[in-house]
Amino acid sequence: MLSRIAESFFWLGRYVERAEATARLLAEHHQLMVEDRSVPEPWACRVLLDGLSMPTAGVETPHALVRAVVGGELDSATITGAVSAARLNARAIRDSLSQDTFEALNSAHLALSRGIAFTASPGVALHRVLERLLVVNGIVDWTMPRDEAYHFMVLGRELERIDMVGRLLGIRLSELWPSSGPPAALRAAGALSAYLRTGQPMTANEVRRFLVLDPAFPRSMLCCAADAEEAVRGLQRLGVSESGHLLREVGMLRSQLEYADTPTADQVEYFVADARRAAVRASDEIDRAFFRQHGTIVWSH
């Protein structure tokens, strides 16, 4: 397939995931700030913005925080920006997407651009956006053939997911809000029910370990790495060459997480940083191997 098309699929996967994870995170963070006012507001705002690599200046209230993170089309770290970027990529490959997928994405984009997120109760508005993004993933799941495009999209989604789980853990909700933080972190990853079923105690370290190393929860870093690896193998099965380095990168990450001894809290910390680094390298490698094969320009007569 065309590199340009593959690249758009990859980034579509990334941006949809980024928008969704950021919206969940914002909803939970906002709820924590409102419900438990023990942490000074400017402080709580800064923590989230830092974690999302966004500028922190001038954002000091829950409402301002919502505005900042919902953001605008120009900054792809914000929810609006990520949805908008996803849509831009989807437009370029509109012919290869099912009509439903584009429609769902479009309605998320429209909802945001109409500014519904700026109502005073952001949870309500964020929910609408999340719902539409879930529809996008749902439709992709049951309408897209498992071809190259699909594998590129999954790769994008899983690498972004590793990055976003890393950011979530970097924000340390559990230490700012000792009692309500751990369940909020789980909720932000959609993992609360899954975690409760394990019967583990609701402590910061156990929650962190779960989000990094749980072998069954689809948003744990381990599962993301395993799914990314599976996507690369899928590409190989379809005869895409050039995936050797990439397979090595995601495979090493997966096996490191999978076969780790029960690690201490510090080691989990190390795994998080390592996984994020590996995700960055994998993304660069994908870019190099598939999208930007800079051949030498040969002039001929």
Partner 1 sequence: MAITPFDEMLLPDGSPRPTQEGMYETLTGLGSEGLSERARQRDAYLDRHGITFTLGERERPLPMDLVPRLLTSDEWTHIEAGVKQRLRALEAFLSDIYGPGQVMLDRLIPRKLVTTSSHFHRQAWGIETPNNVRIHVSGIDLIRDEAGAFRVLEDNLRNPSGVSYVLENRRTLAHVLPEVFTHHRVRSVSEYPERLLEALRAAAPAEVRHPTVVVLTPGVHNSAHYEHAFLARNMGVELVEGRDLYCRDNQVWMRTTSGPEPVHVIYRRIDDEFLDPVHLRGDSVLGVPGIINASRAGQVTIANAIGNGVADDKAVYPFVPAFIRYYLNEEPILPNVDTYDLSDPDQRTWVLGRLEQMVVKPSDASGGYGLMMGPSATDEQLANVAQEVQANPRGWIAQPVVTFSTCPTVVDGGVLAPRHVDLRPFAINDGTQIFVLPGGLSRVALPEGSLVVNSSQGGGSKDTWVIDDTTPLGYLPDAAQYDLMTPPQPVPEEVSRRHDAPAMHDDRMVQQERQQQQTAAPAMEQPC
Contact set with partner 1 (CB under 8 A): 7-8, 11, 14-15, 30-31, 34-41, 43, 46-47, 53, 62, 76-77, 85, 88-89, 120-124, 127, 163, 166, 170, 172, 175-176, 179-180, 183, 193, 195-199, 202, 269, 273, 276-277, 280, 283, 287, 292
Q: Which of 208, 186, 175 is nearest to 47 (CA)?
A: 175
Gyration radius of the chain over CA positions: 19
Residue 42 or residue 218: which is nearer to partner 1 going by CB?
A: 42
Nearest CB to partner 1, comparing residues 110 and 196 = 196
How far is the C-alpha of 42 from the C-alpha of 237, rounded, in Å?
51
Question: Which CB, 143 or 179, lies closer to partner 1?
Answer: 179
We find the least distance from the C-beta atom of residue 85 to partner 1, in angstroms, to be: 6
Contacts of 245 (CB under 8 A, 6+ apart): 285, 289
Residue type, 31: Q
SS3 21: helix
Task: Compare residues 62 and 234 and give the one whose CB is closer to partner 1.
Answer: 62
Rounded distance, CA 38 to CA 95, Å? 51
Query: How far is it, in rounded angstroms, from Cα 135 to Cα 140?
Result: 8
Cβ atoms of residues 60 and 44 within 8 Å: no
In whole angstroms, the minimum distance from the beta carbon of 239 to partner 1 comes to 25
Q: Where does residue 10 rank: exposed (0-12), middle (13-18), buried (19+ CB within 10 A)?
A: buried
User: Nearer Cβ to partner 1, position 98 or 203?
Assistant: 203
Nearer to partner 1, 146 or 277 (CB): 277
Nearest Cα to Cα of residue 232 among 178, 159, 299: 159
Which residue carries 């929910």 as its tokens? 127
Compute the distance between CA of residue 230 and CA of residue 226 in angstroms, rounded to an integer. Answer: 6
Give me the least distance between CB of 115 and partner 1, in Å please: 16
CB of 12 to partner 1, least distance (A): 9
Q: Give CA–CA dist 278/284, Å, rounded.
A: 10
Q: What is the largest CA-CA distance in the chain?
A: 74
CB 137, min distance to partner 1, A: 19
Shortest approach of partner 1 to residue 32 CB, angstroms? 9
Matching residue, tokens 């429609």: 103
**Which lies closer to partner 1 via its Cβ, residue 197 or residue 237?**
197
> Measured from the CB of residue 231, what is the shortest distance to partner 1 in angstroms?
17
Closest CA relative to residue 271, chosen from 214, 223, 213, 228 = 213
The least distance separating partner 1 from the CB of residue 56, rounded to whole angstroms, comes to 12
Structure tokens that stand for 150 in this block = 């699909």
Measured from the CB atom, the residue of 50 and 236 that comes closer to partner 1 is: 50
